[in-house]
Amino acid sequence: MTTAILVGNIGFGGVLRQRQQHPLRRLGFRTTAAEFFFPAPGRIAPGKQLPGTGRLTLRVSSVASVVETKPRDPVTVDEGLPAKENILACPVCYQRLTLIGPPISVITTKGSSLQCDTCQKTYLGNDTHVELIAASGLKEYTESTSMTTEFFKFPLISYVYERGWRQGFSAVIGFPGPEQEFEMMKEYLQPVLGGNIIDASCGSGQFTRIFAKSGLFSQVIALDYSENMLKECYEFIQKEEGCPKENVSIVQADISRLPFATGSIDAVHAGAAIHCWPSPSAGVAEVSRVLRPGGVFIATTGLALADGGNLLLPLVKPFRASMYQITGSHIFVSDGELEDLCRSCGLIVVKCVRNRRFVMVAARKPT
Residues at the contact surface with ligand SAM, assessed by CB under 6 A = 148-149, 152, 166, 201-203, 206-207, 224-226, 229, 254-255, 271-273, 276-278
H-helix segments, 190-334: 206-214, 227-239, 280-290, 313-316, 320-327
Instruction: Report the run of H or E that residue 48 belongs to, with start and end.
Output: strand 48-49
Contact 205, 237 (CB under 8 A): yes
Nearer to ligand SAM by Cβ, of 29 and 169: the residue is: 169
Q: Report, in Å, the least distance between residue 112 CB and ligand SAM.
A: 21
Q: At what angle do helices 206-214 and 227-239 cross, to 10 degrees?
A: 40
Nearer to ligand SAM by Cβ, of 14 and 176: the residue is: 176
Q: Report the DSSP beta bridge partners of residue 353.
A: 60, 360
SS3 162: helix
Q: State the amino acid at position 103 in one-letter form.
A: P
Nearest alpha carbon to residue 193 among 213, 223, 171, 215 = 215
Nearer to ligand SAM by Cβ, of 276 and 342: the residue is: 276
Nearer to ligand SAM by Cβ, of 108 and 148: the residue is: 148
Q: Report, in Å, the least distance between residue 53 CB and ligand SAM.
A: 21
SS3 224: strand
Nearer to ligand SAM by Cβ, of 16 and 363: the residue is: 363
Q: Report, in Å, the least distance between residue 7 CB and ligand SAM.
A: 25
Q: Report, in Å, the least distance between residue 136 CB and ligand SAM.
A: 14
* CA separation for the pair 97, 100 (Å, rounded): 9
* CA separation for the pair 298, 292 (Å, rounded): 14
Q: Report, in Å, the least distance between residue 254 CB and ligand SAM.
A: 5
Q: Report, in Å, the least distance between residue 52 CB and ligand SAM.
A: 20
Q: Report, in Å, the least distance between residue 281 CB and ligand SAM.
A: 13
> Which residues are within 8 A (CB) of 337 and not within 5 positions of it... i.e. 6 or more apart?
none
SS3 251: strand
Nearer to ligand SAM by Cβ, of 78 and 240: the residue is: 240
Nearer to ligand SAM by Cβ, of 112 and 149: the residue is: 149
